[in-house]
Amino acid sequence: MATLENDIVPPSKDLVRELAKPFQTWFSPRIYGFDKIERERPALYVSNHTILGLTDGFFLGLEMYLQKDIMLRPLVDHMHWEIPFWRQLIKNVGMVPGTRESCAALMEAGEHVLVFPGGRREVCKQKGEAYQLIWRNRTGFAHMAVAHGYDIIPVATIGAEEMFDILVDAKDVMNSPLGAWIQNSGFADKYLHGGENLPPIVKGIGRSIIPKPQRHYIMVGERINTTRFNGEAQDHEALVGVRQEVEHAFARMFEDLQALRKNDQDEEWWRKILKNW
């Protein structure tokens, strides 16, 4: 049986509220479908990564803790665990390495788990890739849900992609003399998946890297029950079917969220100015 590395001690809700205030003011998030989340019905929350992933999962996890006493357990890229001090911080707030072993341990413990199938590549967005699910042929999240009888709850977010404008992306770098050197040195293949996992150079407000105060729109989708695939955790065709069902849910939610944003007239004057600067 897999084991967890740590037992987290949740911070006080008053402290969390105070620390979250600046982020909530700046991004003014709106969450739809939050009633679908039930404390006694743990699920695998599958979400899209946005450019650089700075706010991904933050507002969902915040409200789950404050409103429903749920500590959401995100699976995060192994590179985070290689950074001193940062790795201890993310461990203290409940994050775990993004491995099947960690996910299995969380599910065996009945935890609510968050995963981003797009991984590092989806964080390193290139020009024109906003709101694209870059999941390739990955079915790992579907395998874990089926193997442990977990419901999947898709969670879509828009707004965060517009926090930054991409000035230079991975293709630009790899097509430059610098990119040729990175490729020839072997660094690209060893650390950057051929250069695809190279973060973009971005700008936010004006010429700065301060993110634009774009309102975040988050939608919690309908539960997708996986028990109908009981015993098929190793069946690739079944797992692809689960993944496609989740992808179709995202297509619908992205469309719904875009409509909600288009019809949203409740926006502060300062936000309108700064997000277009």
* φ, ψ for residue 131, nearest 5 deg: 60, 30
Arithmetic mean of pLDDT over the chain? 92
Q: What is the pLDDT of residues 94-135, one digit of tens each?
A: 788 889 999 999 999 999 999 999 999 999 999 999 999 999
Identify the burial level of 36 via C-beta atoms within 10 angstroms of its C-beta, where 0-12 means exposed, 13-18 middle and 19 or more buried. middle
Q: What is the pLDDT of residues 74-90, one digit of tens each?
A: 998 877 667 777 666 77
Cα gap 273→72, rounded to integer Å: 34
Cα gap 36→225, rounded to integer Å: 13
pTM, whole model, 2 decimals? 0.93
pLDDT at 133: 97
User: Is pLDDT above 70 for 1?
Assistant: no
Cα dihedral sign for 72, 143, 231, 243? positive
Percent of the chain at pLDDT exceeding 90: 81
Kindly report the length of the chain: 277
> Which residue bears the tokens 């293949």?
189
- What's the mean pLDDT in 6-31? 90
Nearest residue to 76 (alpha-carbon basis) of 59, 51, 62, 93: 93
Which 8-state DSSP code applies to residue 224? B
> Which residue bears the tokens 């028990």?
227
Q: Say which range, 51-55, 176-180, 190-194, has the weakest mean pLDDT.
A: 190-194
| CB neighbourhood size of 6 (10 A) | 9
